[in-house]
Homo-oligomer: A and B are copies of this chain.
């Protein structure tokens, strides 16, 4: 195939007719496919059925002396806190093991900044005239929604292959109204990049004007390689401390994509001073998280090494799916010069950039042909992609055959949308 950009108008018209016919043929199939959300597939869920029967007797309900069935222990059970400390490379004292959803912990952290203020806040953020928030984009839509629901002004920061553009960040944080930033440091959602050591060090050593600046460090994919061995990552809490920002960061992780998305164990890690502050506030919100599920996880996952071995099993399921997406894009769009895409080795997404101005149209055409994609623009603050170019692809849920069919549809739609635009110019 020839580059669309290099084609004459006549060639583009011919290509358009061809893709239009292909589109109509696909549409006629009445497909019902979904590449919209990063949900693990059934084969992955089946890997962890052992969780459900790992505790069988009353005697097994204890973590040391602690009866995990009863009330209490807001910080979580000791063995689960230790497992998370090992995985994240932080101190046990810095970790709280919690409920089933790290998003919930993130929301609650920001909610408490809003209602009560943080450790170094002069007053609750709800009493401030304006709060601004840095959103490296493309990023995770649910992060941005949390900031938005608390009325914050979302400020996009360009993403590079090494993480957020730190020149931009370092300028923006001189504004005292800028109170925080979202980060997904490893296999960033959706580009799949890993923040470089240089970027992580620049982040940890920031000197924000706001003394209660909150670095939201969502380490969602900390052990989520699907291609190759576990890649170690720096301890952001230790780094922030080293650079004189001991209470700036709160780190989050969960087993949602290690064990079960709806029934895993999330954790939060931060300085001991922050933890003490949050515990005081959290003590009004709940008596404790589900300690039986924490215990179930510790008994099943055992330790970091065994958890990494489980991740290899997930990888064996995921790698062929990601290959199907990337190979499909390469085969169908490679020579056309209308798109580029990420080649992640972990995480849950492929980030596709189609011809500028055609992402919305491409996703609309996909929908017409029975393929649900994440809405174009979603990975950007307020759902607005300035270039209308980015499409997030989530390959994990559909079986491989469905995925191949869906990628075929996506490519035809991207081509059709590009040709429509080029012909209209």
Closest residue of B by beta carbon distance from A257? B71
Write the A121-152 contact mask toward B (1 if CB under 8 angstroms, else 0).
Answer: 00010110000000000000010011001100
Write the A284-295 contact mask toward B (1 if CB under 8 angstroms, else 0).
Answer: 111111111100
B104 touches A286 (CB 8 A): yes
Contact of A115 among B53, B57, B126, B289 (CB under 8 A): B126
B145 touches A284 (CB 8 A): yes
Interface centre among A69, A103, A260 (most CB of B within 10 A): A69
**Cβ contacts under 8 Å, A291 to chain B:** 262-263
How far is the CB of A261 from the nearest CB of chain B, in Å?
4
A101 touches B284 (CB 8 A): no
Q: Does A55 contact B (CB under 8 A)?
A: yes
Which residues 259-298 of A have a CB within 8 angstroms of B? 260-263, 281, 284-293
**Cβ contacts under 8 Å, A116 to chain B:** 149
Query: How many residues does chain A have at the interface if contact means C-beta atoms less than 8 Å apart?
Result: 56
**Cβ contacts under 8 Å, A256 to chain B:** 71
**Cβ contacts under 8 Å, A146 to chain B:** 284-285
B69 touches A262 (CB 8 A): yes
Q: Which residues of A contact B (CB under 8 A)?
A: 37, 39-40, 42, 45-46, 49, 52-53, 55-58, 61, 67-73, 99-101, 103-104, 107-108, 111, 114-116, 124, 126-127, 142, 145-146, 149-150, 256, 260-263, 281, 284-293
B115 touches A288 (CB 8 A): no
Given A57-B49, A262-B288, A70-B40 contact (CB < 8 Å): yes
A69 to B49, CA, bound (A): 10
Contact of A287 among B67, B68, B103, B285 (CB under 8 A): B103
How far is the CB of A41 from the nearest CB of chain B, in Å?
9
Given A101-B288, A103-B285, A263-B291, A46-B58 contact (CB < 8 Å): yes
A100 touches B101 (CB 8 A): no
A218 to B289, CA, bound (A): 19
B71 touches A39 (CB 8 A): yes
**Cβ contacts under 8 Å, A126 to chain B:** 114-115, 124, 126-127
Contact of A70 among B52, B103, B262 (CB under 8 A): B262
How far is the CB of A180 from the nearest CB of chain B, in Å?
16
